[in-house]
Structure 1
Amino acid sequence: YGNVGIGITSPDFLLDVGGTVHLRGQNGGPGLYVNETGNVGIGTTSPATNVKLDVNGDVKVGGVIRGDSNGNVIVKLGN
C-alpha cells in the first residue's frame, strides 16, 4: 500500500499530514485537534499554547501520571 500525504509531498507514514489535524466528535463538535506546533486539544480546537495536552472535560487515567526527568510531580491513581 502507498502512503498518503495531505499538505506534504513525500509522506513517510500511511497517513502523513502537514499542518493542523481536526477529528470531529459524534455531534460535529471538537474531538481531537492537533495544531501546527504539535499541541493536542481533546474537546477543544484551541489547545493552550503553554501545554502539550489540553483537555476540555473529564480525564480517566488507569495508571500513573509522571512528571519530568527530575522526578517532579508524580501522581498515582487507583490501587
Structure 2
Amino acid sequence: MKTLCGWVNRKIFLYNVTFGLYMLDWWERLLFNFLVLLLIWFLGYNSWRYTANFLRGSFAMINDLLISRQQWRLVNGEGVCGGAFR
C-alpha cells in the first residue's frame, strides 16, 4: 500500500512539473485541471458519437447490399429452391 501511494504521489508530482502547475495557486490548478477534464470528456463523448454513427452507417450499407443481392436472386429465380423454377 505504501508503494502504491508513493507511485501515485510521484505521478502527481511529474504531472505538476511537466505542465508547470507547481508554480500556480490552488485555484489556478483547479481551473486548469477542470479544463483538462472537460477537454478529455468532449473528446471521449464526440469520439463515441462519431464511432456509433459510423458503425450505424456501415451496417446499414452492408444490410442494403445484402438485401439488393437477395432481391436480384429472387428476380432471377436463383433464390427459390436453388433455382429450380428457371
Please report the TM-score for the alignment, with normalisation by the length of structure 2. Answer: 0.21
- Greater length-normalized contact order (CA 8 Å, ≥ 6 residues apart): 1
